[in-house]
Chain A
Amino acid sequence: MNKNTIPVGPFHPLLEEAEYFSLVVDGETVVDIDMDIGWMHRGHEFISEQKTFTQSIYLVERICGICSTSHPLACVHAIEDVDNTEIPLRARYIRTLIGELERIHSHLLWLGLAGHFIGYDTLWMWSWKYREPVLQMFELISGNRNHYNMLRVGGVSRDVNPEKIPGMTDVLDMLDKKLTMIAKAANDDPVLRSRLKGIGVLTHNDAVDYCATGPTSRASGVPADVRTSEDIDAYSLVDFDVIVLENGDVYDKLVVRVLEMLESTKICRQCLEKLKEVKGPILNNVKNISAGEGIGRYEAPRGEVFHYVRTDGTNRPIRHKVRAPSFVNIPTYAASCVGLPIADVLITTASVDPCYCCTERSLKVVNKNKQPYQIDLLKLSREKTERLRRETYGR
């Protein structure tokens, strides 16, 4: 038995973000995997504790470029949970609408990347082509393609113009057809099946043990979905199904996401219909947040986003905890990647749709003089080269 370690990352051409895996391999087979995060230093929790509640919403929107509604939604749910604030009905439908549109665009983005990773670039081009109309819908609703800035404590900041609803319904009709086409392609295509079926299996027990969330756990037969378990926004007022599959392989994770997009268009259509009928305010003016603690969560495209807020009666939190879904989904690699050939590891790691920017936390390092610590990378690199040279040549 000759075991070798293959380092992947922290900066690797195929990975979008900085992460580091060390794969212990025996021949072609991976026998152990170790993950190392901490290559991106964020400070959102710390900064948020120095901001007012409204400023915090702007801040958490920028934790992730893809889940730019999920984080603020979970954040406002947490702040509203302190006092059990009532939300106007119209605002609840608007929140649900943008949340579901975000799910469609995020899943299409992942689908494209997954296609690209397995060398199936047609899927990539299809997916990203049909993601564009969704971003244009966001522009119609909020004025922005990303970072919509729609949320406030007690409601939403902008109303949906009723004149634009028919146009948006047309886009949803088109999306439905195209998504059905992709779903059929995924089902019939022998390339996708043979490449993804039975690869990177996360068993039901492992998904429960690692506390995985979102499509990662639902593909392994765990029927957990925040949208149904908690009475948030307008999800109790619309009709939709939670997609749960049993096998836990990469193929099932793909199918769960494709079918979820079809459910999302169903929810969006119901919300748009309701927005034609339901009139009334969109913002419940919240003056004060009393002292206490609140938990807010939302089913982001990748899984449950969790925010915890501790307040002391002032206008800013004394503790704000953010937990992105990737924080619990990334450790499942230890269960799903072991036993695979090296070539299958990349698509298995990509199948949980990891977001390392969301996962990283603050890191503040000062030197002995309490000055911010800066590393001279060039000096470090020269020292390392010198050390390796000495170790190799002995001089």
Chain B
Amino acid sequence: MDKVKEFIEVMGDKIFKKIEKKGRLYFEVDNENLHAVVEYLFHEMGCRLSTATAMEMYHGIEVLYHFSHDESGQYFCPRMVMTDLKNPKMKSITPIVKGAEWIEREMFEFWGIEFEGHPRPERLLSREHPEKLDKPLRFRRNS
């Protein structure tokens, strides 16, 4: 719990819509503050990025990163919501966390989210596919 308090004290003005559960902290963050929050989690607190989850919700596309603080077992989950369904765009965190490269490529492929600043914005699974695939593969509203 101390880690959560410490995080909220430092980053409290940059995050909103907090949901606190046993061992989990979900919160929303906007595109401007994403890098500051991720940098604090990864470099200052020593969290490890487990993965990220993209979801197609009624209000838009959500991207939820899962940062694990292994010493305390606490999860910190910054959530980005993109309401522009035609051209979803957000900052890439791969320049800060190298381990995010593959998952961001996968989200780009499945949901068509453009990650600005990604060092290798290519498809992950269908790069060598013989047919040119233009549409996001799991985006239901498109099909």
**8 A Cβ contacts from A192-238 to B:** 208-213, 223-225, 229-231
Most buried by A among B64, B68, B73, B128: B68
Q: B106 to A361, Cβ gap below 8 A?
A: yes
Complex formed: what's the CA distance from A306 to B97 in Å?
18
Is A37 on the interface with B (CB-CB < 8 A)? Answer: yes
Over the window 333-375 of chain A, the binary record of Cβ atoms lying under 8 Å from chain B Cβ atoms (1 yes, 0 no) is: 0000000000000000000000000001111111000100101
- Assess the B73–A380 pair: CB atoms within 8 A: no
In angstroms, Cα B50 to Cα A310, docked, is 17
Q: Which of B22, B51, B110 contacts A323 (CB 8 A)?
A: B51
A211 and B55 contact, CB distance less than 8 A: no
Check B130–A361 contact: CB distance below 8 A.
no
Q: Is A84 in the interface zone, CB < 8 Å from B?
A: yes
Closest to B77 in A: A295
Complexed CA–CA distance, A364 and B143 (Å): 11
The CA-CA distance from A297 to B68 in the complex, in Å, is: 11
Question: Are B53 and A308 closer than 8 Å at their CB atoms?
Answer: yes
Roughly how many angstroms separate A293 CA and B131 CA in the complex, as a whole number?
A: 37
Interface residues on B, range: 35 or more
A residues near B83, Cβ cutoff 8 Å: none
B50 close to A365 (CB less than 8 A): no
- Is B49 within 8 A of A37, CB to CB? no
**Chain A contacts of B101 at CB under 8 A?**
331
**CB <8 Å contact, B49 and A211:** yes
Q: Is B5 an interface residue (CB 8 A)?
A: no
Whether B128 contacts A38 by the Cβ 8 Å rule is yes
A321-B51 in contact given A308-B64, A365-B131 (Cβ < 8 Å): yes
Q: Which residues of A contact B77 (CB under 8 A)?
A: 295
Contacts A230-B23, A230-B73, A331-B101; is A363 near B126 (CB within 8 Å)? yes
Q: Are A211 and B97 in contact (CB under 8 A)?
A: yes
CB <8 Å contact, B22 and A84: yes
Asked if B51 and A327 sit within 8 Å, CB to CB, the answer is: yes
B97 to chain A, nearest CB (A): 7
Q: Any chain B CB within 8 A of the CB of A46?
A: yes
Instruction: Tell whether, in the assembled complex, residue A304 and residue B106 are in contact, meaning their CB atoms are under 8 Å apart.
Output: no
Bound complex: CA A129 to CA B31 (Å): 55
Give CA–CA (A20, B124) in the complex, Å: 12
Query: Nearest Cβ distance between residue B118 and chain A, in whole angstroms?
Result: 14
A319 interface residue (CB < 8 Å to B): yes
Whether a CB of chain B sits under 8 angstroms from the CB of A176 is no
Query: Per-residue CB proximity of A35-79 to B under 8 Å, as 1/0?
Result: 011100000001000000000000000000000000000000000
Q: 17 interchain pairs (CB within 8 A)? A: A38-B124, A209-B98, A211-B99, A225-B70, A229-B68, A295-B77, A308-B64, A319-B53, A321-B53, A328-B51, A331-B102, A360-B125, A361-B110, A362-B137, A363-B137, A365-B129, A365-B131
Chain A interface residues toward B at CB < 8 A: 20, 36-38, 46, 81, 84, 208-213, 223-225, 229-231, 293, 295, 297, 304, 306, 308, 310, 318-319, 321, 323, 327-328, 331, 360-366, 370, 373, 375, 380
Residues of B within 8 A of A (CB): 21-24, 26, 48-51, 53, 55, 64, 66, 68, 70-73, 75, 77, 97-103, 106, 110, 124-131, 133, 137-138, 143
Given A208-B48, A225-B70, A318-B55, 6 additional A-B pairs, CB 8 A: A224-B48, A297-B68, A321-B51, A328-B102, A361-B110, A363-B126
